[in-house]
Amino acid sequence: MYQVKEFNLSRLNGISDQTLEMHFKLYEGYVKETNRLTEAIAEILKDGRVDQEEMPAYSELKRRLGFEYNGMVLHEYYFSNLKKDGGEDPAGNSAFRKAVESNFGSFDLWKTDFTSVGKMRGVGWAICYLDPLHGQLSNHWVTLHEVGNVAGFIPVLVMDVWEHAFLLDYKPAERPKYIEAFFSNLHWQTVEERLSKKRHA
């Protein structure tokens, strides 16, 4: 069973407490649903088999697992890479800056790529991943919660761009303003720690 994590987040810049509280509730829903699906699958497996007539229900539960699990985990990454009074660009000697300079040419170009992913149409996530085998960083678009994640890669920076992440504070067409606000609250230390694989969410 997964436990709902607590995030000590409030009074962010450009992302209201009302948004955060609503978002925490939504995240809680993913934790509960992940647990519920897991239990429902265990119930089917209880007699040691998946009968033919159980297969449609079993399949549907399994198909939904990816959505709920990723919804849970990605929100944990997202909330942990935010903090009050964050946002200062990483220093010149930071491992993240060095990595993006080597992979993208400059920090600004990396940021242009990441924010442009965030502005893509549709609901989903912009994620900067570390390829743990080669040390490369790359930015990806994830549709919903589960389509587009790269197996085995480590998310180092995760930005929610579903409309619920900003609709109480901005109009749907104002997503760029939300992205700006997101960056002004960034907890870069968490990003650095993920890069050095010291922590996950």
As a whole number of angstroms, the distance between CA 84 and CA 8 comes to: 9
Nearer to Fe ion, 141 or 162 (CB): 162
Judged by CB under 5 A, which stretch of 8-16, 62-70, 134-142, 159-167 contacts Fe ion?
159-167
Yes or no: say if 157 and 182 are a contact pair by the CB < 8 Å rule. no
Nearer to Fe ion, 76 or 192 (CB): 76
According to CB under 5 A, which one of 68, 76, 146, 160 is a site residue for Fe ion?
160
Nearer to Fe ion, 79 or 104 (CB): 79
Fill in the per-residue mask, 162 to 201: x = in contact with Fe ion (CB under 5 A), - = not in contact.
x---------------------------------------
Judged by CB under 5 A, which stretch of 45-53, 103-111, 161-169, 174-182 contacts Fe ion?
161-169
Within 33-92, the residues that bind Fe ion by CB under 5 A are: none
Yes or no: say if 10 and 20 are a contact pair by the CB < 8 Å rule. yes
Fill in the per-residue mask, 103 to 142: x = in contact with Fe ion (CB under 5 A), - = not in contact.
----------------------------------------
**Structure tokens belonging to residue 189:** 């230390």
Q: Residue 187 CB, nearest distance to Fe ion (Å)?
A: 17
Our measurement of the distance from residue 42's CA atom to the centroid of its chain's CA atoms, rounded to an integer in Å, reads 27
Nearer to Fe ion, 90 or 149 (CB): 149
Q: Could you tell me the CA-to-CA distances from 190 to 9, 82, 83 in Å, in that order?
A: 14, 9, 10
Nearer to Fe ion, 71 or 87 (CB): 71
146 lines the binding site for Fe ion (CB under 5 A): no
Yes or no: say if 96 and 195 are a contact pair by the CB < 8 Å rule. yes
Q: Residue 58 CB, nearest distance to Fe ion (Å)?
A: 28
Query: In 10 A of CB 124, how many CB atoms?
Result: 23
Yes or no: say if 176 and 184 are a contact pair by the CB < 8 Å rule. no
Counting residues that bind Fe ion (by CB under 5 A) gives: 2
In angstroms and rounded to an integer, the radius of gyration of the C-alpha atoms of the chain is 18
As a whole number of angstroms, the distance between CA 115 and CA 18 comes to: 24
Nearer to Fe ion, 76 or 160 (CB): 160
Yes or no: say if 81 and 191 are a contact pair by the CB < 8 Å rule. yes
**Structure tokens belonging to residue 196:** 């050095």
Q: Where along the sequence are the contacts to Fe ion (CB under 5 A)?
A: 160, 162
